[in-house]
Amino acid sequence: MKPQAPEIMTELRQDLVKMPAIIRTASGIIIFGKRIRSIIFSTDMAIIKNTNADAVIAVYPFTPHPAIMQGISMVADIPVFAGVGGGLTHGQRSVNISLFAESLGSLGVVVNAPTPIETISAINEVVDIPIILTVVTEQTELQPRLAAGVDIVNISGGQQTAQIVTQVRQQFPDLPIIATGGKTTADIAAVIAAGANAVTYTPPSNGELFSKKMARYRAAEIARTTKK
The pLDDT tens digits of the residues spanning 78-101 come to 999 999 987 766 789 999 999 999
Domain boundaries, the chain: 15-203
CB 201 within 8 A of CB 40: yes
pLDDT for 210 equals 66
Compute the distance between CA of residue 65 and CA of residue 59 in angstroms, rounded to an integer.
11
What φ, ψ does residue 154 adopt, rounded to 5°? -115, 100
Which one, of 93, 138, 139, 90, lies nearest residue 117 by Cα? 90
The pLDDT tens digits of the residues spanning 155-182 come to 999 999 999 999 999 999 999 999 999 8
Q: Is the pTM value of this prediction over 0.75?
A: yes
Amino acid (1-letter code) at residue 127: V
Which superfamily does CATH assign the domain made up of 15-203 to? Phosphoenolpyruvate-binding domains (3.20.20.60)
Q: Which of 6-15, 27-36, 41-50 has the lowest mean pLDDT?
A: 6-15
